Structure 1
Amino acid sequence: MSEFKVKGLTSLELKDGEMKEVEIEGIEEGKVLLAKSGGKVHATGAKCTHYGAPLAKGVMNQRGSVTCPWHGACFNLSTGDVEDAPALDALEIFTVSERDGAVYIKGDQAKIKSGRKNPVSACKAQGQDQIVVVGGGSGTIGFIQALREHGSKANVTVISKDEALPLDRTKLSKALISDPSKIQLRDQDWFDAQSIKNIEDEVTSVDFSSKSVETASGKKYPYSKLVLATGGTPKRLPLEGFKDLKNIFVLRKVSDVQSILSAVGEKKGKKIVVVGSSFIGMEVGNALAKENSVTIIGMEKEPLEAVMGQEVGKVFRAQLEKSGVKFQMDASVEKATASSSDSSVVGAIHLKDGTALEADLVVLGVGVAPATQFLKSSGISLEKDGAITVDETFAVKGQESVYAIGDIAKYPYYGPGGNGTPVRIEHWNVAQNAGRSVAITLTSPSTKQKPFIPVFWSALGSQLRYCGNTVSGYDDVVLKGKPQEGSFAAYYTKDETVLAVATMGMDPVMSKCKILMDEGRMLTKSELQGDKDPLSVAVVA
């Protein structure tokens, strides 16, 4: 290792809880984060390993960890390890010292420039333990990586009917990326190095008594432990025309994006109708609006009103209208009819009030259902919506060594106002954190894990950040900032408790609130109404 001088810094006189991004002499684009916690100065990679957010603009917690200002990823400052999704790679850590009026960083030049590391070394599977994971999304990658991080050498087989390798599916609706290689979370070489078998097949049934799964190709795979992570199945409309006509799409996989972009074509300028003012519907509408005419149909008065409230929904609507998106709100779809030039292809969407919207293609964003159809004859107990009830460790009730994570799992929620209420949350971070939780349970059964705070984000003209959950229902919204300008923080409250926080253009308020919720120090409704700011709450209580 070599020693490098920090530019423009003469001492390590940081305040406790203070963070600073510094440049390193002699290394082009070489930057390091200096952060002081508990009286000690740490040096780590400067950027979040998820999407590259500057961690110096994030927030620190009482445990000596830093949370990304964008999407809530959390890193231990002492070890660089990931403590919270959605990051997968850990931060590099370096030795920092001062002498003769200068500050120095000791480390490998390439590592200083990169700032990130794969937290898992190569592993050769051994022993009789056979872990089968059904599904290949966020929960799966969270589980298998954490499993290896925590020392398990169990045999692992991942069986997924979707793409062969786990992808960052959040980019499908937000950016309509059609090349899977650009959004792979881990490549085949990584799976090979971890001795993890990755099989593209569909599990059609599970025999819990004999502990085996069977696939569409007729193969059987025995398991000693089973992790169900099949995610959600996009809903379709049981209305006239929607089952028969072409160019009506859902969005779940890369192949769906490829089909949508193929229908749009190179000339663009298409008339596109998005049915559903959900997050998926809004993101897809926003992504397609630049070069096409997009209309979003929603049943509420404002987009996402049921989740975010009418006033915040107006902000989202205004953001997309700036991009040219048109809205048909407080509307119900009656049917889809064929194009006059091709009876097999959609030509219009008809609303119940008589409005007809011309459409070259239609995208459905009307929600997802738990992908658990393959379990209906297995004897496992499913909720009415198809969800699987699990306990705090995500273990399936009534089954031995079976776990369910992600969109299919209904788990006890212990965030603000939750009090253990069973809830199913369709967030990327929730699935990944649940996977990590199961891996830790299997490798360290005696470790008591603290419930995580749900986080999600969305591209709605500007970037929306959200933490918490309103499972118990909220009775008021405290709105701060300048909503009319697309910059706000919305605090969803029940009595005096803040259940959830949504922000746009006010980073890192959401990340700070996530930390305060996690530590039980979130401000009350009255404190927020009295103009107290979450960012003013000290790291140390």
Structure 2
Amino acid sequence: MSDVDMKTTVIVGAGIAGVHAAENLRKEGDQGRIILMDSDQQMPYDRPPLSKKLMTGETDDTSILLRDPSVYDELDIDLKLGVEVTDIDPERKTINTKDGSSYEWDKLILATGSKLRTLSIEGDDLQGIFYLRRMTDALAMKQHMQDVKDAVIIGAGFIGAELASSLKQLGINVTIVERSSYPMEPIVGRDVSEHFLDLHRSNGIDVITGDSVAQFNGDTMLEEAVTAEGRRIPCQAAIIGVGVTANTAVSHPQLQTENGYVVNEYGETSLPDIYAAGDCTSWPYNGTPIHVEHWDHAVNHGKTVAQNVINPQSVPYAYTPYFWSEQYDSRFQYFGHAKEWSRTVLRGSFESNAFTYFYLDDQNIVKAAFLSNQAKNALPVRRMIQQQSSVDPEALADESIALKKVQRAKV
């Protein structure tokens, strides 16, 4: 084996992006050493089931592993768990870890994912208060919920909403407390936000908006949550789900960060031979840097970055953002990325909970779309967003006109 083959790639983070990057390095012919490290002690696992099937008992902790443990040996991937990186030296090409170890690398991929936003609330040291990020969090929460009658969820984002659905399925009374009047409105708009509120309430969830939890009460165990508006909510469990931010803890003065590690279309950071992939990045989408925390993005970004590690600047990352959420008996999908829009178009109806909701710019170009129980529209919607052509809004709303024909309608 040549010296070229024996080059070392170190991947920091064994989540979705890191595991797929490591696998793709081998798939694309990398015969060098691959070191995949993570601060978590658990074998690499899938995170979406933590708030869904793992919580409801439909799956267990071994079933959500990303790969069978034998795969890492078969691919000759040196997996190191419980390892926390403290600093990197881009000149010497080394990284140091908390246990005093040092690793040399030829290429470095940062796939550090995201970290939780936390709140400081009086009484938050009581037993029964949880954040959900890792498998250990989910398992501890699941164990605790066996004796819980009433639970409070702080935050009505997708994680909070999914947990509300899961806990309701377990027969627990759930109250969501959301500080904004319309949850997720900046992402999905007022109409879809109202639909979410109606959906939760129709499924027996008590949703409190425009308020926040100011205090937890109890002796050693949580007994009550008190809101800023003075509401007193009996509960034996509270879950805080107020979002995440990019984890850029592995840092260097010359490593540019802004809503994540700033990377170009090849996954390259501001430092030579250092790449970044997945949730921890800010990457160019249609000429604008964006940051998303999506499973699908982490998979595809990890794979693409691996290709560019082997053959630098060979494969630009061309990807349409996509995420999904399962709540109650519904499946929601979101394609594209729109921080603002000029008009919206509804195809279907909120009443039926089967619709596609489009976000258009001032040129009637579809920037994003939200699908509720309409998986059949996923492929034409994705194509429509990729084509970036003007469409006829009236045709878009008309379910008698196939979406593939709407794509070709110009105005």
- What TM-score, normalized by structure 1, do the two folds share? 0.70
The letter for the 2-side match of 1:233 is K
Q: What is the aligned counterpart of 2:8 among 115, 130, 151? A: 130
Change (3 A) 1:522 1:198: farther
* Unaligned runs of at least 5 residues, structure 1: 1-124, 415-419
Contact persistence 2:262–2:269 (CA under 8 A): yes
Q: What is the aligned counterpart of 2:346 among 469, 479, 500? A: 479
Q: What is the aligned counterpart of 1:262 among 136, 143, 149? A: 143
Contact persistence 1:163–1:253 (CA under 8 A): no
Range moving further from structure 2, 346-355 or 270-279:
346-355
Q: Distance in 2 between matches of 1:524 and 1:514?
A: 17
RMSD: 2.5
| Secondary structure, aligned partner of 1:512 | helix
Contact persistence 2:200–2:207 (CA under 8 A): no
> In the alignment, which residue of structure 2 is the partner of 1:147?
25
The letter for the 1-side match of 2:27 is E
Task: Return the structure number with greater relative CO, CA threshold 8 A, min gap 6.
Answer: 2
- What TM-score, normalized by structure 2, do the two folds share? 0.91
Q: What is the aligned counterpart of 2:373 among 505, 509, 516? A: 505
Q: Map 1:429-468; keep pairs closer than 5 Å.
A: 429-445=296-312, 447-449=314-316, 451-461=318-328, 462-468=330-336
Q: Distance in 2 between matches of 1:128 and 1:269?
A: 54
Contact persistence 2:307–2:315 (CA under 8 A): no
CA deviations 1:118-170 (Å, max 9, x no partner) are xxxxxxx9833100000111111221222222222121001101254321211
> In the alignment, which residue of structure 2 is the partner of 1:287?
166
Q: Distance in 2 between matches of 1:400 and 1:450?
A: 18
| Secondary structure, aligned partner of 1:393 | coil
Q: Distance in 2 between matches of 1:488 and 1:145?
A: 37
- Calculate percent identity across the aligned residue pairs: 27
> In the alignment, which residue of structure 2 is the partner of 1:355?
231
| Secondary structure, aligned partner of 2:272 | coil
> In the alignment, which residue of structure 2 is the partner of 1:6?
none
Contact persistence 1:490–1:502 (CA under 8 A): yes
Name the larger-Rg structure: 1
The letter for the 2-side match of 1:413 is Y
> In the alignment, which residue of structure 1 is the partner of 2:337?
469
Contact persistence 1:126–1:155 (CA under 8 A): no
**How many corresponding residue pairs?**
401
> In the alignment, which residue of structure 1 is the partner of 2:253?
379
Alpha-carbon shift at residue 507 of structure 1 (Å): 1.7
Contact persistence 1:250–1:256 (CA under 8 A): yes
Q: Distance in 2 between matches of 1:383 and 1:220?
A: 24
Matched, 1:233 2:233: no
Q: Distance in 1 between matches of 2:36 and 2:89?
A: 17
Q: Distance in 2 between matches of 1:410 and 1:344?
A: 42
> In the alignment, which residue of structure 2 is the partner of 1:33?
none
Q: What is the aligned counterpart of 2:206 among 319, 326, 339? A: 326
Matched, 1:199 2:80: yes
Q: Distance in 2 between matches of 1:441 and 1:526?
A: 43
> In the alignment, which residue of structure 2 is the partner of 1:106?
none
Range moving further from structure 2, 268-277 or 131-140:
268-277
Matched, 1:190 2:50: no
CA deviations 1:93-128 (Å, max 9, x no partner) are xxxxxxxxxxxxxxxxxxxxxxxxxxxxxxxx9833
Matched, 1:307 2:307: no
Alpha-carbon shift at residue 234 of structure 1 (Å): 1.2
Alpha-carbon shift at residue 425 of structure 1 (Å): 0.7
> In the alignment, which residue of structure 2 is the partner of 1:534?
403
* Unaligned runs of at least 5 residues, structure 2: none
Contact persistence 2:337–2:367 (CA under 8 A): yes
The letter for the 1-side match of 2:53 is A
